[in-house]
Chain A
Amino acid sequence: MDFTNTQIHHDTLPDIDDVVLKPISSQYIKVIIINKLLLYTVCFGFLILGKFMITKAGFQNNFWLIISIVFIFCVINFVLALLAFRKRKYAIREHDVIYAHGLIVNTITTVPISRIQHIEESRSWLSRQFHLATLNIYTAGESGSDLSIKGLPQHEARQVNDFISAKVNENN
């Protein structure tokens, strides 16, 4: 095997900054909104149930305070989720998969394709209504190094899945 290992200047390496990250499907924001609203409904449901069930004075007197705190929390959470949506981006390069997400804590994870153990495409009931799919990419690492790209258009997820599967098999 002819193997060379010449020093490469750091400027000539392929740069993460040069990659054009592609946003996930704009349909997915609907899934996020529906999920969030469901969660908030459950929260408020429990609170209102508490209003009728719990007779403690401490709870009853501060009921509106609690409700407003929860409400403000929900609004902030909702706004952040909407703003963070635009940060969810991904890219497939020749040798690796990149996924970026997060508004307050922005994370860019890169998994080399040669390290992928297996890949799966999953679709929840809600995502199916919008023709979306989630791509789960598993490595041998700790759970922290696994990737889950949510809200891809279904045909795109299929394409990526096929491409990576072929690559992984080729490596083996």
Chain B
Amino acid sequence: MKITDFSQPIRQSSKGIIIIFAFNAFKFFKRFFVLFIAFGLSLSKKKSFANLTLTNLILICVGILVVLLIIAVLKYLNFKFHLSKDDFHLSTGIFNKDNTIIPKSKIQNVYIKQNFLQQIINVVSLNIETAGDTKSEIQISALDKPTALRLKSELFQKAKQIDVQTEVTEAENVFFRVSIKRLLLEGISQNHLRSFAIIASFVFGLYYEFKDYVEELRLRERLEDIVHLDQESVLNIILLNLVGILAAVIISLLFSVIKTVITNFNLEVIENQKTIEINKGLINKVSLSLTPSRIQNIVIKTNRVKRYFGLHTLFVKQAMVNAKQRKNFVIIALEQQQVKHLVNKLLVNYSGKSEAFKPKPYYKRIMALRAVITVGLLTVLGVLIFGRNFWWITGLLLILSVLYVWIGYKKAYYKIDEDYVSIGGGVIDTTTNILEINKIQAVKLRQTIFQKRHKIASVFIATASKTVKIPYILENDAKSIANFLLFKVESQHRDWM
């Protein structure tokens, strides 16, 4: 295979025509979706539309498709890019010619993605993201994979490093590849309440969208008929409710598992010389790279069940990533050892071995207050809706809230060493937040007048991507932490990115 020369203006792979065509056609049909439904309806009624016969209509459709195809070809022909020493050049446009130049140093992220169609015809798309708003993103929609990879590495190659990096980049090894079994386990141990909420909101959304239609089906009356038949015994009602709950649980579980498998299929973590690459996805394949200098926070999450199976999730928060991509910077199903290795790779000199301090018992009081208020509100609501019997559930909730306070306090701690702050917490989940001190953007001390009497305060530490909280510690400790962090940031003059 011949190696593409990026210094001359080149077009993307000729398969790009298909991608552009499909994309445009999809957009076109989406925009005129309502119109098409109107077409279809009147066709089915009158066999013609606006005095046009069926053949004419088909001809019009074919005509539109041909026009779209021609546009796709022209777009393809006019889409040229090349690399100079320091910049990426792109010229686009059929009638209005656009010439975009991006300095290599301003490129924030380069993603390689592959959607379903691209997987079939075996091309990938390359997205170049610069700082600034989301519109500044550039997409090259069809490149064969080796070319895309080479382009990516060349884009990241700063002008001054050229001679150093050309040979070293090949030293990469696959550090972690998820197995189907672990993926399924991860799906099963997911927070199913969240899945249930998503499904519930989706169903309600659908219901409101097609309210009239559903009402036409007289679903309710039919349902009432069924319930009516079963009303002979109380047992049947309970059974019906149980079946309903069971169905909800199973659907949520399936949803969690399928979602996990689809987004994380074939998850692969590749270790390069300096960066770490994540590849994953079944229908939409994504490939992302993590650069240590850009990482602001790292969050490690697990829970009781997951820890039993040895499953840990690593969230990496980078600066200057657009909102759509942010959720992709997650590596699931890692062993404890692997988490440790990755953290060490991404955070230089992180030991996490310094002394752990706990928040003051005042934290328990706050959590208890929160729990009591929540339970109180729920009880008022519950009694109003379900009647007196709800007291049983209140009792249960109170026991749960005692557990909540106890576990929440047990898991909370904070550690501060020379370069890093780590904060642990969580109730059902066990989370560990790690941030590098020189990435701090602002430090906030917060104290309510109730806390003032007890000499308690909280510290909020903001980086470019997340704010974390050291909750309810002694006022003096809070102040000396703030002093220490500020001293570190201000005395070192190190860049945060």
A contact set with B: CB distance below 8 Å? 5, 8, 10, 13-17, 95-96, 103-115, 139-142, 144-145, 147, 171
Whether A112 and B486, one on each chain, are in contact in the complex, defined by CB atoms closer than 8 angstroms, is yes
On chain B, the residues within 8 Å of A147 by CB distance are: 442
Does B319 sit within 8 A of A, measured CB to CB? yes
Whether B442 and A111, one on each chain, are in contact in the complex, defined by CB atoms closer than 8 angstroms, is yes
29 contacts between A and B (CB under 8 A): A13-B483, A14-B483, A14-B487, A15-B483, A17-B479, A96-B486, A96-B490, A105-B447, A107-B444, A107-B446, A108-B444, A110-B442, A111-B441, A111-B442, A112-B441, A112-B489, A112-B490, A114-B489, A115-B440, A115-B442, A139-B442, A140-B319, A140-B464, A141-B462, A142-B462, A142-B465, A144-B462, A145-B441, A145-B444
Q: A112-B490, A114-B493 are in contact. Are A106 and B441 (CB under 8 A)?
A: no
Closest to B491 in A: A95
Whether B446 and A110, one on each chain, are in contact in the complex, defined by CB atoms closer than 8 angstroms, is no
Quote the shortest CB–CB distance from B31 to chain A (angstroms). Answer: 34
Q: A10-B480, A13-B484, A107-B446 are in contact. Are A141 and B490 (CB under 8 A)?
A: no
A95–B449 alpha-carbon span in the complex (Å)? 29
Of all A-B residue pairs in the complex, the 10 with the closest CB atoms, nearest first, are A141-B441, A145-B442, A145-B462, A95-B490, A108-B445, A141-B462, A139-B441, A140-B464, A13-B483, A111-B442
Whether B462 and A105, one on each chain, are in contact in the complex, defined by CB atoms closer than 8 angstroms, is no
On chain A, the residues within 8 Å of B493 by CB distance are: 114, 171
Closest to A7 in B: B418
Chain B, interface size: which category?
A: 20 to 34
Quote the shortest CB–CB distance from B323 to chain A (angstroms). Answer: 12
For window 445-497 of B, CB contacts with A under 8 Å fall at 445-449, 452, 460, 462-467, 479-480, 482-484, 486-487, 489-490, 493, 496-497
A8–B490 alpha-carbon span in the complex (Å)? 14
Closest to B465 in A: A142
A-B contact sample (11 more), CB < 8 A, given A105-B446, A145-B467: A8-B487, A14-B483, A16-B445, A106-B447, A107-B444, A112-B486, A113-B490, A139-B441, A140-B441, A140-B496, A144-B442
Quote the shortest CB–CB distance from B296 to chain A (angstroms). Answer: 9
Q: A110-B443, A141-B441 are in contact. Are A105 and B482 (CB under 8 A)?
A: no
Quote the shortest CB–CB distance from A138 to chain B (angstroms). Answer: 10
Closest to A110 in B: B443
On chain B, the residues within 8 Å of A108 by CB distance are: 444-446, 482
Contact pick for B464, options A8, A16, A95, A141, CB 8 Å: A141
A104–B453 alpha-carbon span in the complex (Å)? 12
Quote the shortest CB–CB distance from B109 to chain A (angstroms). Answer: 16
Contact pick for B467, options A95, A107, A114, A142, CB 8 Å: A142
A111–B319 alpha-carbon span in the complex (Å)? 18
On chain A, the residues within 8 Å of B482 by CB distance are: 16, 108, 110
Whether A109 and B444, one on each chain, are in contact in the complex, defined by CB atoms closer than 8 angstroms, is yes
Closest to A3 in B: B492
On chain A, the residues within 8 Å of B441 by CB distance are: 111-112, 115, 139-141, 145
A103–B446 alpha-carbon span in the complex (Å)? 11
A145–B496 alpha-carbon span in the complex (Å)? 15
Quote the shortest CB–CB distance from B202 to chain A (angstroms). Answer: 29
Whether B444 and A115, one on each chain, are in contact in the complex, defined by CB atoms closer than 8 angstroms, is no
The residue among B447, B460, B479, B490 with the most chain A CB atoms within 10 A of its own CB is B490
On chain B, the residues within 8 Å of A104 by CB distance are: 448-449
On chain B, the residues within 8 Å of A171 by CB distance are: 493
Quote the shortest CB–CB distance from B452 to chain A (angstroms). Answer: 8
Q: A140-B319, A141-B463, A144-B467 are in contact. Are A115 and B483 (CB under 8 A)?
A: no
On chain B, the residues within 8 Å of A103 by CB distance are: 449
Q: A16-B482, A142-B462 are in contact. Are A114 and B444 (CB under 8 A)?
A: no
Closest to B441 in A: A141
A139–B486 alpha-carbon span in the complex (Å)? 15
Closest to A111 in B: B442
Q: A107-B446, A140-B464, A140-B496 are in contact. Are A114 and B490 (CB under 8 A)?
A: yes
On chain A, the residues within 8 Å of B489 by CB distance are: 112, 114-115
Quote the shortest CB–CB distance from A68 to chain B (angstroms). Answer: 24
A104–B450 alpha-carbon span in the complex (Å)? 8
The residue among A106, A109, A145 with the most chain B CB atoms within 10 A of its own CB is A145
A17–B463 alpha-carbon span in the complex (Å)? 24
Whether A106 and B490, one on each chain, are in contact in the complex, defined by CB atoms closer than 8 angstroms, is no
On chain A, the residues within 8 Å of B440 by CB distance are: 112, 115
On chain B, the residues within 8 Å of A13 by CB distance are: 480, 483-484, 487
On chain A, the residues within 8 Å of B484 by CB distance are: 10, 13
Closest to B444 in A: A109
Closest to B490 in A: A95
A20–B444 alpha-carbon span in the complex (Å)? 17
A150–B284 alpha-carbon span in the complex (Å)? 48
For window 410-455 of B, CB contacts with A under 8 Å fall at 418, 440-449, 452
On chain B, the residues within 8 Å of A8 by CB distance are: 487
Quote the shortest CB–CB distance from A50 to chain B (angstroms). Answer: 27
0/1 string, B166-185, CB within 8 A of A gives 1 = 00000000000000000000
Whether A106 and B487, one on each chain, are in contact in the complex, defined by CB atoms closer than 8 angstroms, is no
A10–B448 alpha-carbon span in the complex (Å)? 26
Quote the shortest CB–CB distance from B420 to chain A (angstroms). Answer: 15
On chain A, the residues within 8 Å of B463 by CB distance are: 141
A104–B496 alpha-carbon span in the complex (Å)? 33
The residue among A16, A140, A144 with the most chain B CB atoms within 10 A of its own CB is A140
A53–B359 alpha-carbon span in the complex (Å)? 54
